[in-house]
């Protein structure tokens, strides 16, 4: 009995006759479906017919794959494709093999007389045995959100705060040291190298190892502070470099592996090679999620990274609360409600820990804290480094806002209070306005006002 990987997709399917397009009939969609099923596993541009192929297969073709193609409105069709999961061994690269097929030529069909276009995969589900296989191999040495929070000794109302170092490249070693240690001293738990920073030459790794040791000493006995190197490189290089960081601190140790071409194999190697006491907390930005989204749904890509051992990840689509000087339009309100509900759902899972990231400025932090709370980690880049007085002052501002937000938090929307006036002024004056920007660009977003416009669950 096959255990199916199920892929749901939607596409425009048209019959072409004399240059004219018309909707495909139910029987024609069935024919297209059979070709899709064959092409998904063993097929090519035609059918394997004739006596030669009798008794040549190890099992019946329908045991490898099956498909349903149902007519939707006009020329649109809903496709449900099921593929036998035994073809993809989780312990031997099966997940990345499947992702490659899914993102590659799985639905690249050329069927004479038909045009298939605008195909988008809408959902992917793995069978329980397949998911459990991934978990047993790659999450056994990984960490839950609760374990991470405990490791960083966070209070119940305190979110994990990480600085994604900006500028991404070009800083001198002296500047890096000053900024990293200053931001950690200001109250952040993690300083991580961002997506573009991959200077892993021997001499620079030696410098980073020393800096990681200094970063771990910042917190002393009261706080846990760490430098996170970016190990978004082939697996054996990542393993060799991480070994050099083992002596910089006791657990927790943190590394970053972004969701690029080598990501799943690299994270899986870190999990398989290092036992629990040495296994790092792995953070991730799903670098290819938007580029793959038509074939690999964003949440499935994030899930795949988590099943491979990623602990902390930006899932994309974080709530956008807008500028503080205007009301949200109807579409914006719907988007914020939907994004917040999704974040609450993801944060309720034991793993991975999810993050807020991307374009957040200090005046929005209070409102975001009221929306998603401390279960979500705050990974901030420009929010810190674009401060007029430099990143250390930017870090102090962010920490002051988050701490004050924690004091003011209430589950009753009518009782929400704004930040103290002095802190609002600091937030609104923190950044230089770009040429031509509205004076309201970096205004404080009052949760008292904004949440009255929304219908969102509270944490």
Domains of the chain, CATH where assigned: 4-132 (3.30.70), 140-453 (3.20.20.110)
DSSP state letter for 251: S
DSSP state letter for 73: S
Backbone angles phi, psi at 309, to 5 degrees: 125, 5
Rounded to whole angstroms, the Cα distance separating 204 from 192 reads 15
Q: Which residue in the block uniquely carries the two structure tokens 């509205």?
A: 438
H/E segment holding residue 98: helix 94-103
H/E segment holding residue 397: helix 391-408
Q: In the chain, what is the greatest distance between 2 CA atoms, to the nearest angstrom? A: 84
Rounded to whole angstroms, the Cα distance separating 283 from 302 reads 12
- The three-state secondary structure class of 445 is coil
Query: What are 259's two structure tokens?
Result: 């969701």
Rounded to whole angstroms, the Cα distance separating 296 from 124 reads 8
Contacts of 451 (CB under 8 A, 6+ apart): 367, 370, 371, 413, 416
Helix axes 94-103, 263-273, angle to 10 degrees: 170
pLDDT in tens, the chain (459 residues): 679 999 999 989 888 888 888 888 888 888 888 877 777 777 776 677 778 887 888 877 778 888 888 888 888 989 999 999 999 999 999 999 999 989 987 877 778 888 888 989 999 999 999 999 999 999 999 999 999 999 999 999 999 999 999 998 999 999 999 999 999 999 999 999 988 899 999 999 999 999 999 999 999 989 999 999 999 999 999 999 999 999 999 999 999 999 999 999 999 999 999 988 899 999 999 999 999 999 999 999 999 999 999 999 999 999 999 876 677 888 888 999 999 999 999 999 999 999 999 889 999 999 999 999 999 999 999 999 999 999 999 999 999 999 999 999 987 777 889 999 999 999 999 999 999 988 889 999 999 888 888 888 777
Share in percent of the chain as helix, strand, coil (round to 5): 45, 15, 40
- Neighbouring-strand partners of residue 6: 82, 125
Rounded to whole angstroms, the Cα distance separating 67 from 446 reads 51
Query: What are 66's two structure tokens?
Result: 């099956």
Backbone angles phi, psi at 379, to 5 degrees: -105, 105
Entry field: residues in the chain: 459
Rounded to whole angstroms, the Cα distance separating 47 from 297 reads 30
Torsion of CA 240, 244, 245, 247, to 10 degrees: 140
Rounded to whole angstroms, the Cα distance separating 433 from 401 reads 21
Rounded to whole angstroms, the Cα distance separating 64 from 415 reads 59
What's the whole-model pTM score? Answer: 0.94
Q: Which residue in the block uniquely carries the two structure tokens 């001198």?
A: 172
- CA 76 → CA 9, 22, 37, 72, 119, distances in Å? 11, 11, 18, 5, 10
- 72: alpha, beta or left? (left if phi > 0; alpha if psi -120 to 50): beta
Rounded to whole angstroms, the Cα distance separating 390 from 371 reads 28
């Amino acid at each position: 009995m096959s255990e199916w990987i199920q892929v749901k997709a939607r596409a425009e399917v048209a019959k072409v006759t004399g240059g004219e397009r018309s909707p495909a009939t139910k029987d024609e969609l069935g024919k297209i479906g059979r070709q899709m099923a064959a092409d998904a596993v063993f097929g090519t541009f035609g059918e394997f017919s004739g006596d030669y192929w009798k008794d040549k297969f190890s099992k019946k073709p329908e045991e490898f794959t099956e498909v349903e193609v149902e007519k939707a409105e006009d020329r649109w069709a809903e496709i449900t494709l099921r593929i036998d999961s035994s073809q993809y061994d989780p312990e031997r690269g099966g997940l990345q093999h499947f992702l490659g097929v899914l993102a590659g030529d799985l639905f690249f069909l050329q069927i004479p007389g038909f045009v298939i276009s605008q195909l988008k995969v809408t959902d992917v589900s793995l069978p329980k045995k397949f998911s459990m296989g991934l978990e047993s191999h790659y999450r056994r040495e990984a960490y839950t959100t609760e374990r991470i929070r405990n490791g960083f000794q966070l209070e119940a109302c305190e979110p994990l705060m990480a600085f994604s170092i900006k500028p991404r490249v070009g800083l001198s070693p002296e500047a890096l040291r000053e900024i990293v240690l200053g931001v950690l001293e200001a109250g952040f738990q993690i300083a991580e190298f961002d997506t573009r920073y991959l200077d892993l030459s021997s001499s620079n790794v030696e410098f980073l190892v020393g800096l990681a040791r200094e970063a771990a000493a910042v917190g002393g006995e009261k706080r846990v502070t760490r430098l996170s190197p970016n190990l978004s490189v082939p697996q054996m290089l990542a393993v060799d470099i991480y070994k050099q960081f083992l002596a910089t601190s006791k657990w927790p140790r943190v590394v970053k592996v972004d969701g690029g071409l080598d990501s799943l194999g690299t994270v899986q190697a870190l999990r398989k090679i290092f036992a629990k006491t040495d296994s790092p907390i792995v953070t991730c930005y799903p670098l290819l999620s938007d580029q793959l989204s038509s074939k690999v749904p964003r949440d499935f890509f994030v899930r795949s990274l988590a099943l491979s051992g990623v602990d902390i990840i930006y899932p994309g689509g974080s709530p956008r609360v807008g500028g503080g000087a205007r009301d949200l339009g109807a579409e914006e309100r719907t988007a914020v409600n939907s994004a917040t509900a999704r974040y609450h759902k993801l944060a309720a899972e034991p793993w991975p820990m999810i993050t807020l990231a991307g374009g957040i400025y200090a005046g929005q932090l209070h409102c975001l804290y009221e929306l998603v709370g401390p279960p979500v980690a705050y990974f901030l880049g420009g929010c810190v480094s674009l401060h007029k007085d430099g990143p250390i002052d930017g870090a102090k501002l962010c920490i002051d806002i988050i701490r004050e937000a924690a004091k003011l938090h209430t589950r009753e929307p009518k009782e929400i209070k704004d930040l103290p006036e002095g802190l609002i002024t600091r937030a609104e004056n923190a950044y230089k306005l770009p040429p031509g920007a509205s004076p309201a660009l970096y205004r404080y977003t009052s949760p008292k006002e904004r949440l009255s416009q929304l219908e969102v669950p509270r944490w």
